[in-house]
Amino acid sequence: MKILVTGAAGFIGSYVCRYLLNRDDEVVGLDNINDYYDVNLKYGRLATLGIQQEIIEWNRFAHSSQYPNFRFVRMNLEDKDAILHLFATEQLGAVIHLAAQAGVRYSLENPYAYIQSNINGFLHILEGCRYHEVKHLVYASSSSVYGLNGTAPFSEQDSIAHPVSLYAATKKANELMAHSYSQLYNIPTTGLRFFTVYGPWGRPDMSPFLFTDAILNNRPINVFNNGDMLRDFTYIDDIVEGVIRVLDQIPSGDETWISETPDPSRSTAPYRVYNIGNSSPVRLMDFIRTIEEAVGCEAVKHFLPMQPGDVYQTNADTSLLEQAVGFKPATLLREGIQKTVSWFRNYYNL
């Protein structure tokens, strides 16, 4: 099957591409390689897939030197004509849509980027699927959609009516948009709510990278809400395994769904939403201690209040995912952090 992976130069996207290529799928990778964070990291991920920086051009395919069944194109999601032309010419069997303007805090600084990429860009993907008979659209949502929800662990059947950042609001909107296209045009869609993903090649704006970088370079770390937060840290390999298993499980309409007591995770349309998390929330101070142990050095901590857009805890109920595809993330934090720190030292020669 030919599969489009958007966000192919991103953290999760590059891993998903490699997994698909190693099982002999044909993959078309797409990314705009924006400068939200260090583009060298994005080019480095692409290089591991056989796409060198010097052969990348806007709206033109680059062919992998490592995987004969991989092509990459630099393209903006916001470019409607380019996206729809891509769908029209590639005859895609499935789409894994991971590209988005990421980051909760950055959404306070540059809200327009989130509407352009996460709303307009997602609409272009939906329209491509609508007109070109894509068999399954799997897309990235986020644990941030739970917002002010105080019931833990978070279930897909909980309300997501109160997001606390524009980023979260755009991810909630993606789920609503996907459902409408599933209902109207019978497009199978599955949304995946990722919970604090970490691992080698991770994003520099997230705490595992920030803390490791600061400690190894003798800089203080910022600890928000004075360390009183819980996060459901999920290792990258578990995320990718969940994505692929869900991709292969094409949803159909649920004939048992009851409109009088609606289940938000499904409907009579071919639509599903799943959490993918480790289901083992870790206190922020315990997480920092785990990194300190892996690095072999204690961090200098700068304690700060909670930042706007942050939530106190994330905690995934993954029972629906387990029932659907027989998989539950289970990588231990200590194991995942050791691998992450080892990669960091090697990549940055520290």
Q: Is the pLDDT reported for residue 185 higher than 80?
A: yes
Does residue 241 register a pLDDT over 80? yes
pLDDT of residue 10: 98
Q: How far apart are CA 80 and CA 95, in angstroms?
A: 16
**Pairing mode of beta strands 2-6, 26-31:** parallel
Which strands sit side by side in the sheet containing 70-74, from one edge to the other? Answer: 61-63, 70-74, 26-31, 2-6, 94-97, 136-142, 189-194, 271-276
Q: Higher confidence at residue 229 or residue 21? A: 21
Quote the pLDDT of residue 313.
Answer: 84
Say if CB 50 and CB 9 are below 8 A apart. no
Domains of the chain: 2-199+234-277+316-330 (3.40.50.720)
Cβ 2 vs Cβ 90: under 8 Å: yes
Note whether 103 and 113 are within 8 A (CB).
Answer: no
- What is the average pLDDT score of the chain? 95
Cα–Cα dist 241/277, whole Å: 12
Check pLDDT > 90 for residue 151: no
Polymer length of the chain: 350
Does the pLDDT at position 228 exceed 90?
no
pLDDT of res. 150: 83
**Residue 63 pLDDT more than 80?**
yes
Confidence at 105, pLDDT banded by 50, 70, 90:
confident
Instruction: pLDDT band for 31, please (50, 70, 90 cuts).
Output: very high
CB neighbour list of residue 303: distance below 8 Å, 6 or more residues apart = 223, 226, 227
Across residues 246-252, what is the average pLDDT? 97
Which pLDDT value is given to residue 87?
Answer: 98
Mean of pLDDT values over 276-304: 94
pTM over 0.85, yes/no: yes
For the segment 107-134, the average pLDDT, to the nearest whole number, is 96
The band of 126, judged by pLDDT with boundaries at 50, 70 and 90, is very high
State the DSSP H helix or E strand holding residue 242, giving kind and residue range, or none if neither.
Answer: helix 236-247
Specify the range with the lowest mean pLDDT, choosing from 34-48, 228-242, 304-318, 331-345. Answer: 304-318
Strands 70-74 and 61-63, by their bridges, are antiparallel
271 is catalytic: no
| Residue 239 predicted with pLDDT over 90 | yes
Name the residue among 338, 329, 252 with its Cα closest to residue 294: 338
Using an 8 Å Cβ cutoff, are 137 and 97 in contact?
A: yes
Q: What percent of the chain has pLDDT over 70?
A: 100
Q: Over the stretch 320-341, which tens digit does the pLDDT of each residue have?
A: 999 999 999 999 999 999 999 9
Q: Is the pLDDT of residue 222 over 80?
A: yes
**Residue 313: how many CB atoms within 10 A of its CB?**
18
Catalytic residue among 15, 106, 139, 167: 167
pLDDT confidence of residue 25: 98
Q: Which two tokens stand for residue 26?
A: 């044909």
Q: Which residues have a Cβ under 8 Å from the Cβ of 138 and sit 6 or more positions away? A: 94, 95, 96, 97, 189, 190, 191, 192, 243, 246, 247
pLDDT at 211 (0 to 100): 95
CA dist 30 and 27 (Å) reads: 10
Q: Is the pLDDT of residue 350 over 90?
A: no
**From 187-196, 225-234, 271-280, the region with the lowest mean pLDDT:** 225-234
DSSP assignments along 112-168, one per residue: HHHIIIIIIHHHHHHHHHHHTT-SEEEEEEEGGGGTT---SSB-TTS-----SSHHH
Q: What is the mean pLDDT of residues 214-243?
A: 93
* pLDDT value for 3: 98
pLDDT above 90 for 309? no
What's residue 1's pLDDT?
87
Q: What is the pLDDT of residue 79?
A: 98
Mean pLDDT of 31-56: 97
Say if CB 271 and CB 183 are below 8 A apart: yes
Alpha-carbon distance of 56 to 40, in angstroms, equals 13
User: Which residue did the predictor score with more confidence, 312 or 246?
Assistant: 246
Q: What pLDDT does residue 268 have?
A: 97
pLDDT value at position 339?
A: 98
